[in-house]
Amino acid sequence: MKVLVTDGLSAEGLEILRQAPGLEVEAKKGLSPEELQAVIGEYEGLIVRSATKVTAELLAQADRLRVIGRAGVGVDNVDVSAATQRGIVVMNTPGGNSLAAAELTIAMILALSRHLPQATQSVRAGKWEKSKFMGTQVAEKTLGIVGLGNIGRLVAERALGLKMSVIAYDPFVTKEAGLKIGVEMKELDELFARSDYLTLHLPKTEETKNLIRAETIARMKPGVRIINCARGELVNEADLAAALNSGRVAAAAMDVFAKEPPGESPLFGCENAIFTPHLGASTDEAQSSVALAIAEQVSDYLVRGTIRNAVNFPSVSGEVMIQIRPYLNLAERMGSLLGQMLTCLDDVTLEYSGEVVKFDTRPVTHAALKGLIQAHLDIPINYVNAPAYARQRGIKVIETTTEETQEFTSLITIKVHGQHEEVQEIAGTLFGKRNPRIVRVGGIILDAVPEGSVIVIRNHDKPGVIGNLGATLGKHGINIGQFKLGRQGGQALCMVNVDSPAPPEVLEELRKLPNIISVRQVKLD
Ligand code: NAD
Ligand code: MLT
């Protein structure tokens, strides 16, 4: 398998990829979008930082690509939904460069307060302008943090060390969690009104774009200082420039821009603004940490199938993967069996009970959906794109979990709703921790092995049916590996594992036997 690294990765990261069994690594920096499109079809893995734009057009050429690794946090340079649709895992390295970004933020707060870049320029120009560069003390000032995630928290800790009082707005962090680290959680308006310094540490999304604009600046404390080491699009540069020029905002520090490199920006004309060229993650330590992390994650996925820090798939550690793999296998086979028996799909419920609920069941659901949906589509479905295909087709997926079980240590039930077909429901379990078994099909209890070619037969529970089935298959040289039978209320269901698939004419002959209700052959890998 080949991995392409396009934006430069520290040597330690490249070495991990080179050492991974079965991986071949190529580092090609500075490829144009056209050059990248021309070669991307050769690679199973792609590792980028922020320069490479992984667009839907690029992905349309990426026939072999299985994983995109982003050595950093923001995945806004990757079209994650296009990747998901193609079943490509997108991974990032949360936390790997947080300290570097937090330290830059603190450096920005101090540099703004003491005019360090402007004073440096002035001294270099032979001037000695002490009164021009009168500064502001940061201790006892209020720092407002928007986004109290990995970086926001590290900034808070450091600002508390500088004796600032720290408040934050983050819709996903509770008051209690904030207080634990000495931060008071506030609503956004109160944060705007109270902050002497306002620093952004939230992701860029459709909702957060333009968070800092004329209308929000008007709600801020006059003379506020604004720091953006998150994403450029969070700030309307023209509105901020106007506020800097009028003095409504005392100063601003920008590490990131709506367009990078920005070329021109209205902010460049503001003397009270300082800039860095997206240096938040640029320390040796951070680069080595994200490079090691992404190299390990990408190689673990390609070599061992372990998914960590994926933004489009629930993360599963190596140890957990070993434990849940048998459930993934069971759920996929159950989904496939049910999918092949149905003529169309509708909303799906997955019921998990017993030991299986000790684990995050979402990957198991992905596996069941893969089996179900693949049975109805020719394009390749995998664990990553299966939920996207279900959503696209309006199929609602409901999961229920309970620790209680009756007969089995773990039981998975898949129900497809809104159908009027014979079989809409199937239940399965693991025997001996890893051997998949189907234990109920459409209300009939049995004990069948979901493997290889299986003929599923419904019949009236009358003498002679099994003999006729065996004789017909035998007559055509089709060997029966296993024959499992269940019955209820005068009907029976057989699952017959055959060594070679029965041709259509043999299936037709089986259908014509006395007391047969239906015959369907499914293929389970
Ligand atoms: P994170 O996911 O750990 O934290 C982001 C926080 O933002 C989360 O706690 C989330 O709940 C919160 N959030 C989400 N929507 C919000 C909203 N509407 N309002 C307020 N808070 C909201 O991410 P992180 O690692 O701390 O990164 C934060 C930002 O910094 C990201 O945009 C990332 O891309 C950027 N970043 C920049 C650099 C750089 O070089 N300048 C380096 C690393 C990260
Ligand atoms: C990130 O999101 O990790 C940062 O923007 C740093 C980088 O671009 O590598």
- Cβ atoms 113, 135 nearer than 8 A: yes
Taking residues 457-479, report their average pLDDT.
96
The pLDDT value given to residue 422: 65
How many residues are listed for the chain in this entry?
A: 525
pLDDT tens by residue, 81-123: 899 989 999 999 999 999 999 999 999 999 999 999 999 999 9
Same domain membership, residue 159 and residue 71: no
Residues 147 and 187 reside in one and the same domain: yes
**pLDDT tens, position by position, 319-367:** 788 889 899 999 999 999 999 988 888 899 999 999 999 999 999 999 9
Domain with 392 in it: what CATH number?
A: 3.30.1330.90
Let me know if residue 309 belongs to a domain. no
Q: What is the mean pLDDT of the chain?
A: 94
In this structure, the answer to whether residues 30 and 69 fall within a common structural domain is: yes
- Could you give the residue numbers annotated as active site? 231, 260, 278
Residue 311 lies in a domain: no
Asked if residue 443 belongs to a domain, the reply is: no
| 294 lies in some domain | yes
- Is 310 part of a structural domain of the chain? no
pLDDT recorded at residue 380: 80
Tokens of 240: 């901020």
Instruction: For the beta carbon of residue 208, count every other beta carbon within 10 angstroms.
Output: 17
State which ligand 1 atom lies nearest to the alpha carbon of 72: 43
- The secondary structure element, H or E, covering residue 185 is strand 184-185
Which of 435, 462, 479 is the last residue in one of the domains?
435
Position 60 in a domain: yes
Collapsed DSSP state (helix, strand, coil) of residue 211: coil
Ligand 1: distance of its center to the CA of 307 in Å? 22
Spatial CA neighbour of 47 closest among 64, 26, 63 = 26
Tokens 């050429």 map to which residue? 61
User: Do 142 and 259 fall into the same domain?
Assistant: yes
Work out the number of other CB atoms within 10 angstroms of the CB of residue 434.
Answer: 12
For ligand 1, atom 38, the nearest C-alpha belongs to 280
Q: Are residues 426 and 389 part of one domain?
A: yes
What single string gives the DSSP state of each residue in 319-340? Answer: HHHHHHHHHHHHHHHHHHHHHH
Strands of 379-515, DSSP E: 397-402, 410-416, 425-431, 435-441, 444-448, 452-460, 480-488, 491-498
Ligand nearest to the CA of 206: 1
Q: What is the CATH number of the domain that holds 519?
A: 3.30.70.260
57 with 150, same domain: the answer is: no
One domain, residues 424 and 509: no
Q: Minimal CA–CA distance to 346: which of 251, 414, 416? A: 416
Rounded to the nearest whole angstrom, what is the distance from the C-alpha of residue 256 to the centroid of ligand 2? Answer: 10
* Residue 409 Cα to ligand 2 middle (Å): 45
My answer on whether 491 and 378 are in the same domain is no
Residue 500 lies in a domain: yes
The predicted structure's pLDDT at residue 490: 92
The residue-averaged pLDDT of 38-50 equals: 97
Domain of 60 in residue numbering reads as 2-96+285-304
Q: How many domains does the chain have?
A: 4
Of 37-46, 320-329, 413-422, 430-439, least confident by mean pLDDT is 413-422
Confidence of residue 421 (pLDDT cuts 50, 70, 90): low
Give the pLDDT score at 420.
Answer: 64
Q: What gap in Å lies between CA 449 and CA 387, rounded to an integer?
A: 26
What pLDDT score does 377 carry? 84
Q: How does residue 307 score in pLDDT terms, banded at 50, 70 and 90? A: confident
Using DSSP, state whether 168 is helix, strand or coil. Answer: strand
pLDDT at 266: 97
Q: What is the pLDDT of residues 177-207, one digit of tens each?
A: 999 999 999 999 999 999 999 999 999 988 9
Any domain includes 297:
yes
117-122: long-range contacts at Cβ-Cβ below 8 A with a sequence spacing of 24 or more?
A: 117/274, 118/271, 118/274
Q: What's the pLDDT at 405?
A: 83
Which amino acid belongs to residue 116?
A: L
Domain co-membership, 89 together with 104: no
Pair 72, 139 in one domain: no
Residue 3: φ, ψ to 5° = -120, 130
| Contact between 430 and 331 (Cβ < 8 Å) | no
Residue 383's identity, in one-letter code, is Y
Confidence tier at 522 by pLDDT (50, 70, 90): very high
CATH number at residue 291: 3.40.50.720
pLDDT value of position 320: 84
Query: Cis bond leading into 261, ω under 30°?
Result: yes
pLDDT of residue 453: 97
For residue 478, CA distances in Å to 196, 464, 511, 512, 524 come to 81, 19, 16, 18, 17
* Residue 281: Cβ-neighbour burial (10 angstroms; 0-12, 13-18, 19+): buried
| Shared-domain flag, residues 253 and 117 | yes
**72: Cβ below 6 Å to ligand 2?**
yes
Q: How far apart are CA 133 and CA 395, in angstroms?
A: 63
Q: Whose CA is nearest to atom 8 of ligand 2?
A: 50
Does 293 sit in the ligand 2 pocket, CB within 6 Å? no
pLDDT in the model for residue 154 = 98
Say whether pLDDT at 234 is over 90.
yes
Which pLDDT band, with edges at 50, 70 and 90, does 60 fall under?
very high
**221 and 363 share one domain:** no
Q: What spacing in Å lies between the alpha carbon of 146 and ligand 1's midpoint?
A: 9
Contact 210, 236 (CB under 8 A): yes
